[in-house]
Structure 1
C-alpha cells in the first residue's frame, strides 16, 4: 500500500496534482480500462425515504405524520418521487441524464446490526464475516491479476471492501476526523439536564440552529477527499477505482436537520467529483449506498430506526440517468417487510455486478464465482448504463 501525501495535495491544488504524482515515488501502472468506478459508502443507514421521497403516496404521510415532506418541499422527478431539496444541487445531473436512483435496495442482509450489515456489504458474501477480504478487491484481481495498483482508498484506513490480495493506493486527510451529528446528538441527550454543559455544547456546535450556509466548511473531510479522488483518478496512468466514506447517517433522532446537513455535504462532494474528473466524467460511474435503510414509520424522536430496504444512487457520464429504476413495492401495510420496513426488492449485489461487468469489463463467470459467491439468483441489474 502506498500513502499519498495530503500536504502535497493541498499545496498543489487540483491542477498540479496529477503532474506531481507522475514525478513522485508513486508509480501508477497502465490500467486495463479507461473506465472509472467510485463507491461512496454512507455508513450508519441512510433513510432512503427522506432522500428520494414518495411524496404522492398516502401511506408515506400516514407512516410519517411529522417527518413526511410534501410536494412543495421536494423537487419533483416523476410525479410520484421527489428529491429532498437539500439534494437540489444534483438536479442538473438528473436533467443531463447523469443521475439515477434505485429505491427499495439493499444487500442480502435482513437483520439490523450496523456492524454485520456493513461487513456483509463489504465482503460480498451472503453472511456477515463470510470472507476476510472485500468483494471490490477480489474484482480488481479479476480485472488485472492484482499486479497493478488499480484502486484508491480515501480515508484514515483502508475499508474491508478494498482489503485483500490486490494492492491498493491510499490517501488520507491527516486532520482529526469529523465528529458526526449522531455522536453530538447523543452527547446532547446525555447532558440535556445540565444547563452549563448544554449551553457550552450548543455554543460550540450550533446543534440547535440550522446551518443555512451554501458552502460546506473548508475543513470538510468528505469534500477534501472527493476533490483528491477526482484529481488522482483523472490522471491517465492513475487508479481507476476509488472508495470514499461519509458517516453520520444513523438518524434515530433529529432527522430533518441532521439529514439536511448531510445531504448538502453529499451533494457538494459528488459535484466536486464531477468538476474534478473533467472529461473523464463521461467514463465514470459513482455509486452511493448505505448498509441498510430505515423503518418506514417514524419513531417518537423525530427520527427513524434501523430498517432493511434502502436507496442506491448512481451518478456519472456513463450512467443512464434521469430515471428511478428497479421495482418499487410501495408502502401499504401488506407491502412492508415484517410490518415495519421498506421491502428490499432490488439487490445491491445485482447493481454491483452490472457495474463490474457492463462498465468495468469484468468476466461474468468470475463475478459470479469469486466476487459475489452464492449469488447466481441475483442477475446483473439492467438499464443502468448508457449503451
Structure 2
C-alpha cells in the first residue's frame, strides 16, 4: 500500500525514481553568498590528488601508482595536481582554488560508515551526535522560503536535524499532469499536516523547472547551478559523490573519478555565471588512504587526505599544509599520512567566512561536541 506521504513525493516529482549518486541537497538562507559541500564517500587518496612530488619517499612508497609529474600540473615547489583535474588547475591559476593537505576529522579508525558519521555529524566519535553540522549551519542563518530542499530520495546525515528538510527527486518518467496536481492540491488543502508537505514539494518542483534527470557529472553541476542561481533559490548545497574506495586498479579508477569531479565543478561554475564570484565549494572525504601501495594496484584505508576549496570567493592559488613527511618514522602507525590539520576547523572557517558568520561561534556551534575550539580563517576573499 502506498502511503499518502509517499504519494505526495511521487506526484510532485513526476514519479519519484530513485536517484543514482551523486545526490544533491539544498538549503535556503537570506544571503547572496553560496556554500557547497561535496563529500567524497569511500576515502579519497589525497596523496595522488595533490601529489607531494618533491617528497623523497613518495615515489618509492607508491611504485607504479606514483603520478607522472610530467603530466601533472605543478602547484609549487612541493606539490602537483593530478592530470585529470584540468579545470581545477585552471581555477588554481586564477586563484580560485586552495588545497589543504594532511587533513582529517577526529576519527582515527578505518570504517567508512563510522568515518562518514563523524564527518557529517561533527562529533568526536561515531554516533555520538544525532544531527548534522550542515543542518546546524543552516540554523545559524536567517530562514528564507524553504529552509532546506534535498534533490535525493533521502536526506544525508549532514543535513538532518532541527531544520525541516523536504526532498525533490528528478525522474525520467513523464511528469504528472497539471490537472492531477490541481486535484491533489485540493485534496490536501484542508489537511493541516499534509498541506504543508505538499506545498513544500510543489515549491521544490517549481525551483527545479525543466532540470534534467540525468546523473552524468556535467548535468549534476548544471542542475545544482540551476537551483543556486535563482533569485528565489537555495544558497547552501551538499553534493554526494561515491566510488572513491580504490583498493585495486587505482590509477584508472581515480583518474575517472577525478575527471568526473572536475567536470561537475566546471559545470557548476559555468552554470552559476556571475554568482560564482560569491560561491565557495568545499570538497572533503571521510579519511585518506595508505601511503604505500598494496599488492593489487591500489591503496587501503588510511588517515589524512587533502581537502579542496574552489570558487570565485576563495582566496586561492596556494597549498596550505604543515607537511609531516612520508618517511616510516613520520607516518601515522608507520603506514598512513599523519593528520596535522583539523577538517572540522577548515569546515568551520570556510562556512563562516563564506556566509558572513563569526568563525569561532561557527566552530563551537558546528563542532563543539568534537572539542573544536577554533576555525581556520583567511580562506575567503572579504
Question: Map of 1:1-387 to 2, 5 A cutoff?
Answer: 31-144=29-142, 148-174=145-171, 219-364=214-359, 366-387=361-382
- Taking a change above 3 Å as real, the CA distance of residues 171 and 321 of structure 1, as seen in their structure-2 partners, is farther
- 325-334 or 39-48: which moved more? 325-334
SS for the counterpart of 1:273 is: helix
TM-score by length of 2: 0.79
- 1:175 Cα offset (Å): 5.9
The separation in 2 between residues aligned to 1:101 and 1:165, in whole angstroms, is 32
- 1:153 Cα offset (Å): 3.0
The separation in 1 between residues aligned to 2:319 and 2:154, in whole angstroms, is 33
- 1:348 Cα offset (Å): 1.1
Q: Kindly indicate whether the alpha-carbon contact (under 8 Å) linking 2:280 and 2:313 is maintained by their aligned counterparts in 1.
A: yes
- Taking a change above 3 Å as real, the CA distance of residues 175 and 134 of structure 1, as seen in their structure-2 partners, is farther
User: Structure 2: where are the runs of 5+ without partners?
Assistant: 16-26, 174-212
The separation in 2 between residues aligned to 1:365 and 1:93, in whole angstroms, is 29
- Taking a change above 3 Å as real, the CA distance of residues 6 and 294 of structure 1, as seen in their structure-2 partners, is farther
TM-score by length of 1: 0.78
User: Structure 1: where are the runs of 5+ without partners?
Assistant: 9-27, 177-217
The separation in 2 between residues aligned to 1:375 and 1:245, in whole angstroms, is 23
The separation in 2 between residues aligned to 1:7 and 1:256, in whole angstroms, is 39
- Taking a change above 3 Å as real, the CA distance of residues 253 and 168 of structure 1, as seen in their structure-2 partners, is same
- Taking a change above 3 Å as real, the CA distance of residues 305 and 37 of structure 1, as seen in their structure-2 partners, is same
SS for the counterpart of 1:97 is: coil
CA deviations over 1:121-161 (Å, ceiling 9, x no partner): 011111111122111101111212x5643444333421000
The separation in 2 between residues aligned to 1:302 and 1:6, in whole angstroms, is 42
CA-based RMSD of the aligned residues comes to 2.4
The separation in 1 between residues aligned to 2:46 and 2:359, in whole angstroms, is 30
CA deviations over 1:188-208 (Å, ceiling 9, x no partner): xxxxxxxxxxxxxxxxxxxxx
The separation in 1 between residues aligned to 2:258 and 2:110, in whole angstroms, is 23
- 1:92 Cα offset (Å): 1.6
SS for the counterpart of 1:269 is: helix
Q: Kindly indicate whether the alpha-carbon contact (under 8 Å) linking 2:103 and 2:342 is maintained by their aligned counterparts in 1.
A: yes
Q: Kindly indicate whether the alpha-carbon contact (under 8 Å) linking 2:124 and 2:371 is maintained by their aligned counterparts in 1.
A: no
SS for the counterpart of 2:330 is: coil
Q: Kindly indicate whether the alpha-carbon contact (under 8 Å) linking 1:173 and 1:225 is maintained by their aligned counterparts in 2.
A: no
- 1:221 Cα offset (Å): 4.1
- 1:247 Cα offset (Å): 0.4
- 1:366 Cα offset (Å): 4.3
Q: Kindly indicate whether the alpha-carbon contact (under 8 Å) linking 1:155 and 1:225 is maintained by their aligned counterparts in 2.
A: no
Structure 1 residue ranges, 4+ long, deviating more than 4 angstroms after superposition: 1-8, 363-366, 375-378
- Taking a change above 3 Å as real, the CA distance of residues 134 and 148 of structure 1, as seen in their structure-2 partners, is farther
The separation in 1 between residues aligned to 2:289 and 2:133, in whole angstroms, is 24
